[in-house]
Structure 1
């Protein structure tokens, strides 16, 4: 197996998933005509604000240690 603790890696990457989701929402709103009418303008900003919060929650604090499983 390439990454033995893949579940933990995906959990700790949740803040980046928020950034990816915000980028996808912004691209969809810009390129697909009807998506801009459905999505509220504040949704992308709310997802980006959730990114640092997700980082703190998933990693257990701002100064989380890097122990190996």
Structure 2
């Protein structure tokens, strides 16, 4: 795995943990917390959503799903 892929996976995991800790967050909150663009956040959230880990019940608001996750 190359460095940029590894860095992205670490960031996606951190985003997931941040959302899990906060409950419900906006895309902008995540971008500000991690110092990344809204577009990068959206890509990360799409990865998490595709894997059933987060959902957006309201446009621009994100929360974790009840899916069991083993975090290592």
TM-based fold match above 0.5: no
> Which has the larger share of helix?
1
User: Larger strand proportion, structure 1 or 2?
Assistant: 2
Q: Indicate the structure whose relative CO is greater, using CA pairs within 8 Å and at least 6 residues apart.
A: 1
TM-score scaled by structure 1?
A: 0.30
TM, length-normalised to structure 2? 0.29
